Amino acid sequence: MQSGIGFGSMAGLLAGGWLADARPFLFSMRLLDAALCAIMVLWSVALWVAVPGSPTTAAMTGIVIFWTSAALIAPSLAIEKALVQADPERSSLTLAINTSVIYLGQGLGSGLGGGVVASLGYGPLGWVGGAIAGIALLVACVANPEWSKSDPRPRSPKPRKNRRVQSAKNG
């Protein structure tokens, strides 16, 4: 199963890298959040139809682990690209904060997942994960009205104006 995580992560990096270069940020985030929603629901379906010890269950679990890993890793390249483009001079700081927030999310997600398993069992775990991914998709859909147009064409970032040159011209 660990190799499924590794191969899924590699597939996610390839897909996420292509998407980050080929499509606008919010378009990519919406698409990847929708994929994550579907995969989280797939976990619940897999757990409900699973027959303990069967080869089919083992194969199904491996497939779902592969796709989950791909879906979780794929957005990271688009997010990191957007962070670096937002302020290239402070990219080290923004990427470090991003990494810290990832770890915070993993801790909070583990706690929430443990609470779901303790109170409801494993079956609803994917539905809860899918609901959380759905909330992220909703946020991405309503975020920044300027970006909410789903234009799939790549856009080049606007060049930053040199503030010193502007203030010298104005002053």
Say which residue the tokens 């011209």 belong to: 169
* pLDDT of the residue at 37: 82
Mean pLDDT of 59-80: 88
Is 148's pLDDT higher than 60? no
Summarize pLDDT for 110-145 with one digit per residue, the tens. 999 999 999 998 888 888 888 888 888 788 777 765
> What is the band of 170 on the pLDDT scale with cuts at 50, 70, 90?
low
With contact defined as beta carbons under 8 Å apart, do 152 and 27 qualify?
yes
* pLDDT of the residue at 159: 54
- Residue 84: both structure tokens together: 């670096």
Summarize pLDDT for 43-52 with one digit per residue, the tens. 777 777 778 8
Residue 144 DSSP label: -
With contact defined as beta carbons under 8 Å apart, do 72 and 129 qualify?
no
Residue 147 DSSP label: T
pTM for the full predicted model? 0.63
